[in-house]
Amino acid sequence: MSEVNHQRIKTNGIWMHIAEQGEGPLVLLLHGFPEIWYSWRHQITFLANHGYHAVAPDLRGYGDSDSPLSPNSYTVIHLAGDLIGLLDHFGEKQAFVVGIDCGAIAGWHLSLFRPDRVKGLVALSAPYFQRSPCFGAVEHHRKLFGDGSFVCQFQEPGRAERAFARYDYMTVMKKFLLLNKTDFLVAPPDMEIIDYLETPSVLPEWISEEEVQVYADKFQESGFTGPLNYFRAMDLNWELLSPWQGSKITVPTKFIVGDKDIGFESIGTREYATGDVFRGLVPNLEVVILDGHHYIQQEKAQEVSDEILSFIRKLSTD
């Protein structure tokens, strides 16, 4: 089997780093916050071994991809444009798209804007929500969770970066990647989210110190401003998405979520994911609930890989 290959591709005005392996139908693997292509290390080889061309980019602002300075360059329209450029680079009319967290949000909106280019979508951890017709995204978030929520804290340029800088990069990555809180992330008054998150003293069996170090080394090179700009573009997203108010995601979709993900029980994600409103927005939907936390593709790598493969194989034979 071929090794994972790395290259940088010009797409939508930026250089995007990708890791790829295998030959066959294209599967895009889109990481979350704060991750890089490496978070799909298990799935890349698994899919390549089963006859697929697995491509995991560093999304804009992350890793070895370009990181535009302005938060206005991180909208879902920019992300969709980056992904269309990847499909065009490989000469593919359609791809299977798999995304987690902010990568899932990119996948949802690529499917919304260009369903003709998406054969099927697997979204992990982040369901598709209807745009609020009345309130901007951050205001809506503040009304629900208050100023201590991570979304609100991440809005001010430089604030989270300064807070993160009080810790070494290894500690920051452990606080996020090994997140085991099940309530939504809201810090107590006068406390930063990064201080609120715990640092596990023992790593779980699904990740090693060496693997966490890969993330730490890369974020030490690239910083956190690009990733945080995704949150700072939320209100602009809300403005730009008004023409799609009420639109449905029509592509075949599998949604995978861990039963211990943040807010899964406490803010009603379980009821939403299994309810009629979600299915009304995404009519061709299958929902899978696994035993796990937020970064489910790493924690339950084989289970997630099997779920992805069964879904894309089914669509390949339809």
Give the C-alpha distances (Å, rounded to integers) separating 151 from 87, 108, 143, 230.
31, 19, 12, 10
Separation CA 26–CA 47 (nearest Å): 10
Look up tokens 């089914």; give the residue. 314
**Cβ pair 153, 123 in contact under 8 A:** no
Catalytic residues: 101, 294
- Neighbouring CB atoms inside 10 A of 238's CB total 18
Position 259 scores a pLDDT of 94
Residues recorded for the chain? 318
Smallest CA-to-CA distance from 113 within 128, 125, 101 is with 128
Q: Rounded to the nearest 10 degrees, what angle do helices 102-113 and 76-89 cross at?
A: 70
**Strand pairing category for 5-11 and 26-30:** unpaired
Position 231 scores a pLDDT of 97
Position 318 scores a pLDDT of 64
Position 16 scores a pLDDT of 98
Q: CB-based contacts of 243: which residues, under 8 Å, 6+ apart?
A: none
CA dihedral 229, 231, 234, 235 (to 10 degrees): -80
Separation CA 50–CA 53 (nearest Å): 9
Position 254 scores a pLDDT of 98
Position 273 scores a pLDDT of 94
Look up tokens 């535009």; give the residue. 68
**Cβ pair 159, 139 in contact under 8 A:** no
Helix (H, G, I), strand (E, B) or coil at 243: helix
**Cβ pair 82, 11 in contact under 8 A:** yes
**Predicted TM-score (pTM) of this structure:** 0.97
Position 30 scores a pLDDT of 98
**Cβ pair 244, 274 in contact under 8 A:** no
Helix (H, G, I), strand (E, B) or coil at 207: coil
* Residue 299 lies in domain: 5-315
Separation CA 58–CA 38 (nearest Å): 9
Q: Please list the pLDDT of the chain residue by residue as tens digits (318 residues).
A: 569 999 999 999 999 999 999 999 999 999 999 999 999 999 999 999 999 999 999 999 999 999 999 999 999 999 999 999 999 999 999 999 999 999 999 999 999 999 999 999 999 999 999 888 888 889 988 988 899 999 999 999 999 999 999 999 999 999 999 998 888 899 999 999 999 999 988 999 999 999 999 999 999 999 999 999 999 999 999 999 999 999 999 999 999 999 999 988 888 889 999 999 999 999 999 999 999 999 999 999 999 999 999 999 999 876
Number of folded domains in the chain?
1
CATH of the domain at 135: 3.40.50.1820
